[in-house]
Amino acid sequence: MTKLKSPFTVLRLGVSLFKLEHQQIFYPFITIVFINFLVLEILYFSPRYPLSVFFAPIISHIWGEGYLRYPMDLVLLPKLFYYVQVLILLFLSSFLIALIVDMVNAINNEEQVNFKVSFKRSLSGYVYIAAYSFLSLLLFKLFDKGYGLLLNRAFKIHSTAGIYFWIKKFVFYFTPYAQFIYGIFVTAFLIYIPILIILEKKKFLGALIGNFKVLFGSFWLTFALVLVPTLFYLPILLMHSNITSLAEMTSPEIQVVVLALNVFVTTGISIFVIAAATTYYLYKKENP
């Protein structure tokens, strides 16, 4: 394997993995995107017959009948899609993304990439991958709770000028970007857990401990491996942050477009990051 002196060398190697000759490495991406798009389509048509027979009573009971009508149904759509995405992530997406680890290892060993073979080899780690996803989500929820307290405190600031006024504005404006930065750190701190589960057949606790051993002395390189690809999410984040203005300038349906782009971009980033991290892990393993 090429000597890896910088994160950009690792990222270049990561890019080189995704070739037509390794076409089955794209299968997890295609599967995740297809399932999410299918769910998004179902939720989009949920207020309409025949899907409304099932969804309408639930929506009207929890949120009110107003959210069954246009354009309020599109206001509710991102929230509904988020809830379903969490379930998809816990029980399917995280495992499919983890299959990339086995595929990268196969390429490193000059083996043919085979989705079915990787699936079978990795299936024993399914429960531990789900636990890893649950831990990630838990850490995000803890951040949301903590930042929520900060937002509540900022909301109590009644100044209309001066430093406290600007602190309040900053806290509210910076919310999505704080989540973005925090997400990069969490991903970097936990990135080797699925790699150790898939390649070393470790259980969750062993993978968690091994993860920090791998990170020791290489955290900032790992952080860069996560940071650089994740920067491609910034345009989506900007659209999310200004979705109300975008909807007013275009149409409420822009929310559907943004959700679809979000699925496409985040899935691609997740798969590329795990591929790059696996490449680096294999290098460290072969060059202790």
pLDDT along the chain (288 residues), means of 10: 76 91 94 97 93 92 90 90 94 96 95 96 96 96 90 82 83 89 96 97 97 94 96 93 85 91 97 96 88
Q: How far, in Å, are 42, 47, 63 from residue 57 at the CA level?
A: 16, 10, 10
Q: Which two tokens stand for residue 196?
A: 């150790």
In the chain, what are the domain boundaries? Answer: 7-286
Q: How far, in Å, are 2, 224, 280 from residue 5 at the CA level?
A: 9, 13, 10
Q: How many residues in the chain?
A: 288
Helices (H) and strands (E) in the chain, counts: 15, 0
At 238 the pLDDT is 92
At 174 the pLDDT is 87
Q: Are 28 and 99 in contact (CB under 8 A)?
A: yes
At 31 the pLDDT is 97
How much is the pTM? 0.93
78 contact partners, CB below 8 Å, separation of at least 6 = 255, 259
At 2 the pLDDT is 56
Q: Which two tokens stand for residue 269?
A: 């980033």
- Smallest CA-to-CA distance from 107 within 21, 223, 213, 12 is with 21
At 277 the pLDDT is 97
At 173 the pLDDT is 85
At 4 the pLDDT is 72
Q: Are 269 and 230 in contact (CB under 8 A)?
A: yes
Distance CA 115, CA 26 (A): 9
Distance CA 288, CA 273 (A): 22
Instruction: Report the 10 Å Cβ neighbour count for 99.
Output: 26
Q: Which two tokens stand for residue 203?
A: 């259980």
Distance CA 167, CA 173 (A): 10
At 41 the pLDDT is 95
Q: Which two tokens stand for residue 249?
A: 């300038």
